[in-house]
């Protein structure tokens, strides 16, 4: 593999996908970022088996290929490089050579084929809203989720779609936050529980632009957020959420 891209694009992409890199794992491959160069674009992926993030950047692809590189080390290297074009070249032994102006680093990577691919989600059920709306919804509800795992339901948020309304609910046993948004279109009714960790990481990536949209796809066990050049896939929390309407009426 041989690719050339700008430092700013690479640093931005690495900062996005690093949010899904696993720190506490016995599988070394999950501590890596997968760099994949095919015809058209350069794709970076991280996956801790609960949360997966994939983003694409522009660049020159002189030789297609893929390699998994240890995320922390790779991130530190690209941040310290000069503000210019970066060349990444790999050989058959999975050794990556990273060069920029007079700087040159060589690090050992791992075979890209061993990296776990993101789960496939059928794009049947979805809703669309602005990045600004989603970022605000997360900001206004995330504070009232429970930080500990004693009750799994309380570590996530209920996303409930009914017609043209999205309702997001979070509670931690002491307080409850409910936020409703009117969507542009009518959608099929659905209820899912999204982990708070996922929403926290998404809110950091979103630009909050009112003109840009986010598409949210609902699968049986996963949820997919698609915006800009990035996709975020997260495992859902299984089970029945608290009966919020009964709590409020009483």
pTM: 0.94
7, 100 in Cβ contact below 8 A? yes
**Cα-Cα-Cα-Cα dihedral sign, residues 149, 168, 239, 123:** negative
Q: What is the DSSP letter of 144?
A: G
Percent residues over pLDDT 90 in the chain: 88
Number of other residues whose CB lies within 10 A of the CB of residue 239: 9
Q: How far is CA 184 from the centre of its chain?
A: 25
pLDDT in tens, 119-142: 999 888 899 999 999 999 999 999
What residues does 208 pair with on adjacent strands? none
E strands in the chain: 2-6, 32-37, 42-47, 51-57, 60-63, 65-70, 85-90, 95-100, 103-108, 110-111, 125-130, 156-171, 176-195, 213-218, 222-227, 230-235
Residues contacting 92, CB < 8 A, separation 6+: none
Asked if the model's pLDDT at residue 201 lies above 90, the reply is yes
| pLDDT the model gives residue 235 | 97
What whole-number distance in Å separates Cα of residue 76 and Cα of residue 53? 19
Angle made by CA atoms 113, 115, 116, in degrees to the nearest 5: 115
How many CA within 13 A on the CB side of residue 208? 7
pLDDT in tens, 95-114: 999 999 999 999 999 999 99
pLDDT in tens, 40-93: 789 999 999 999 999 999 999 999 999 999 999 999 999 999 999 999 999 999
What whole-number distance in Å separates Cα of residue 116 and Cα of residue 45? 10
Kindly report the backbone phi and psi dihedral angles of residue 196, in degrees, each rounded to the nearest multiple of 5, phi listed first: -60, -35
What whole-number distance in Å separates Cα of residue 115 and Cα of residue 5? 23
């Amino acid at each position: 593999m041989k690719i050339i891209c700008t430092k700013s694009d690479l640093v931005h992409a690495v900062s996005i996908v690093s949010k899904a890199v696993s720190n506490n794992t016995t599988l070394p491959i999950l501590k890596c970022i997968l760099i994949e160069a095919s015809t058209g674009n350069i794709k970076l992926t991280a996956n801790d088996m609960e949360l997966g993030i994939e983003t694409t950047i522009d660049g020159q692809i002189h030789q297609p290929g893929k390699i998994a590189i240890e995320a922390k080390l790779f991130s530190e290297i690209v941040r310290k490089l000069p503000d210019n074009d970066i060349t990444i070249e790999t050989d058959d032994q999975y050794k990556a050579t990273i060069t920029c102006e007079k700087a040159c680093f060589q690090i050992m990577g791992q075979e890209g084929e061993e990296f776990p691919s993101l789960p496939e989600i059928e794009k049947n059920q979805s809703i669309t809203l602005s990045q600004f709306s989603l970022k605000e919804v997360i900001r206004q509800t995330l504070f009232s989720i429970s930080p500990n795992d004693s009750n799994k339901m309380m570590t996530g948020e209920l996303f409930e779609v009914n017609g043209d309304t999205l309702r997001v609910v979070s509670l931690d046993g002491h307080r409850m936050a409910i936020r409703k948004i009117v969507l542009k279109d009518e959608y099929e009714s659905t209820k899912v529980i999204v982990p708070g960790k996922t929403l926290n990481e998404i809110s950091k990536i979103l630009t909050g632009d009112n003109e840009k949209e986010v598409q949210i796809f609902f699968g049986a066990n996963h949820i997919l957020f698609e915006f800009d050049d990035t996709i975020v896939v997260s495992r859902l929390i299984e089970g029945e959420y608290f009966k919020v309407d009964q709590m409020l009426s009483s």
